[in-house]
């Protein structure tokens, strides 16, 4: 007699720094735990206040709000709730790059301290739209295997490998926030403003954010060159492309990004707007792209 195999429910969780669009959260049933933004000593959960509050705070104080990751206690509460609502489930938790935040280490500690079983921690090695790209690709892989999979650890390793094929680049709309946060010197800020330079930030293999080159001009003027170079440099899976931006980017540029993606042969595209945490670093009007390289 053939032994019946009972498949476990699989959940996908992440932090708000993944900037998952609401339509994808609903479509794929993703679960999100918020990171935090601090203004005048008051902590706000990312996603509970509009991004414009970040900009208003900076404009009135010339200080960038500070950010904090999810702490160990919050993770334990979150995973406990997931377990309560979904007994006997398998959880794949996608963490913001371990080399860009303490979220990964805190999640790891929470899993150990809470003695949670069947929770697999995935290091996206990315941020924002890069995390989104990884999670959607993983969800499609899970859906393709969910009726036959019995080795959930092996599936976790397969999901982790996707991180090495994610490409994520962005260009801050302004260096004001990076300067105010101490990430760019005053001299570099002045020089960049005089020369109308915008740095390209790439997420490298281990998950570090690296400034690799500079574009000259406004975001609308350099968008075409940025997009062309990204599409030419990488052999991307044409199933989907993620169009990243921060509030303040003009609609004409948003439409242009979409049109270029369609012209390049992408079957689907999703806009990924940065939330409060990411916007504290990139400021208004940032632009970015994230996709998955073909195997």
For residue 62, tell me if it sits in a domain.
no
**Quick check: is 226 in a domain?**
yes
Mean pLDDT of 68-80: 97
281 pLDDT above the threshold of 90: no
What pLDDT was estimated at residue 195?
A: 40
Report how far residue 125's alpha carbon sits from residue 100's, in angstroms, rounded to the nearest whole number. Answer: 8
What is the distance between the alpha carbons of residues 249 and 256, in angstroms, rounded to a whole number?
12
Residue 3 lies inside a defined structural domain of this protein: no
13-20 average pLDDT score: 96
pLDDT of residue 208: 84
Task: For the chain, give the mean pLDDT.
Answer: 89
Clarify whether residues 206 and 220 are in a common domain. yes
> Among the three residues 131, 163, 195, which one is the final residue of a domain in this structure?
163
Which pLDDT score is estimated for 187? 38
Instruction: Decide if 79 is inside a domain.
Output: yes
Q: Identify the three-state secondary structure at position 168.
A: strand
Strands 66-68 and 36-39: antiparallel
Q: 252 or 62: whose pLDDT is higher?
A: 252
Single residue among 110, 143, 163 that ends a domain in this structure: 163
Quick one: 172 and 150 in the same domain? no
CA distances, 206 to each of 17, 210, 225 (Å) = 17, 11, 26
Q: How many domains does the chain have?
A: 2
Is the pLDDT confidence value at 289 over 80? yes
Q: Residues 178, 124: one domain? A: no
Query: Does residue 132 contact residue 274 with C-beta atoms inside 8 Å?
Result: no
Beta carbons of 31 and 12 less than 8 angstroms apart:
yes
Reduced to 3 states (helix: H, G, I; strand: E, B; else coil), residue 205 is coil
Per-residue pLDDT tens digits for 114-154: 999 999 999 999 999 999 999 999 999 999 998 889 899 99
pLDDT at 47 exceeding the cut of 80: yes
Residues 171 and 273 in one domain: yes
Q: Do residues 137 and 256 both lie within one domain? A: no
Spatial separation of the C-alpha atoms in residues 99 and 106, rounded to whole Å: 13
Whether 112 and 209 map to the same domain: the answer is: no
Residues 32 and 105 grouped into a single domain:
yes
Residue percentage of the chain with pLDDT more than 90? 72
Q: Which of 132, 163, 194 is the last residue of a domain?
A: 163
Query: For position 105, which CATH number holds?
Result: 3.40.50.10440
Cα four-point dihedral sign 80, 85, 87, 88:
negative
Domain assignment of residue 287, given as a range: 166-292
Per-residue pLDDT at 177: 56
Residues 153 and 15 in one domain: yes
pLDDT of 175 reads 64
* Per-residue pLDDT tens digits for 186-241: 434 334 444 456 888 898 888 888 888 888 888 999 999 999 999 999 999 999 99
Residues 170 and 137 reside in one and the same domain: no
Q: Is residue 143 part of a domain?
A: yes
Question: Could you tell me which residues are beta bridge partners of residue 203?
Answer: 209
Residues 6+ apart with CB under 8 A from 170: 128, 129, 200, 201, 244, 282, 286, 287, 288, 289
Task: Specify whether 117 is located in the same domain as 244.
Answer: no
Choose between 237 and 64: higher pLDDT: 237
Cβ contacts of residue 285 below 8 Å, gap of 6+?
173, 174, 219, 245, 246, 248, 249, 250
5 inside domain: no
Does a structural domain hold residue 49? Answer: no
Please tell me the predicted confidence (pLDDT) of residue 176: 66
**Interatomic CA distance for residues 171 and 253, integer angstroms:** 13
Where does the pLDDT of residue 6 fall: very low under 50, low under 70, confident under 90, or very high at 90 and above? low
Q: Which residues of 198-229 are buried (b: 16+ CB within 10 A; e: fewer)?
A: bbbbbbeeebebeeeeebeeebeebbeebbee
Strand boundaries in 40-125, DSSP class E:
42-45, 66-68, 90-95, 119-123
Do 179 and 277 share a structural domain? yes
| CATH code (residue 287) | 3.30.1180.10
Q: According to the model, what pLDDT value does residue 182 have?
A: 46
Q: What is the pLDDT of residue 213?
A: 87
**235 and 113 housed in the same domain:** no
Q: Is the residue at 59 inside a domain?
A: no
């Amino acid at each position: 007699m053939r032994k019946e195999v009972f498949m476990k429910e699989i959940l996908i969780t992440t932090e708000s720094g993944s900037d998952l669009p609401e339509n994808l959260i609903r479509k794929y049933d993703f679960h999100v735990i918020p990171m935090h933004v601090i203004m005048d000593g008051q902590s706000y959960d990312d996603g509970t206040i509009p991004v414009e509050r970040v900009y208003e705070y900076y404009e009135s104080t010339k200080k960038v709000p500070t950010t904090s990751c999810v702490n160990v206690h919050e993770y334990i509460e979150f995973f406990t709730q997931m377990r309560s609502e979904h007994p006997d489930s398998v959880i794949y938790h996608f963490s913001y790059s371990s080399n860009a935040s303490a979220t990964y280490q805190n999640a790891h500690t929470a899993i150990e301290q809470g003695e949670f079983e069947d929770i697999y921690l995935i290091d996206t090695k990315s941020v924002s739209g890069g995390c989104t790209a990884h999670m959607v690709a993983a969800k499609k892989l899970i859906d393709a295997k969910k009726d036959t999979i019995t080795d959930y650890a092996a599936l976790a390793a397969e999901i982790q490998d996707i991180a090495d094929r994610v490409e994520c680049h962005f260009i801050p709309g302004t260096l004001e926030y990076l300067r105010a946060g101490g990430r760019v010197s005053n001299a570099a800020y002045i020089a960049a403003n005089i020369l109308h330079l915008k740095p390209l930030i790439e997420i490298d293999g281990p998950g570090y954010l690296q400034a690799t080159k500079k574009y000259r001009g406004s975001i609308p003027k350099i968008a075409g060159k940025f997009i062309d170079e990204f599409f030419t440099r990488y052999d991307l899976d044409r199933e989907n492309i993620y169009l990243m931006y921060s509030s303040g980017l003009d609609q004409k540029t948003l439409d242009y990004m979409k049109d270029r993606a369609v012209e390049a042969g992408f079957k689907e595209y999703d806009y990924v707007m940065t939330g409060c945490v990411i916007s504290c670093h990139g400021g208004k009007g940032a632009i970015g792209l994230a996709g998955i390289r073909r195997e």
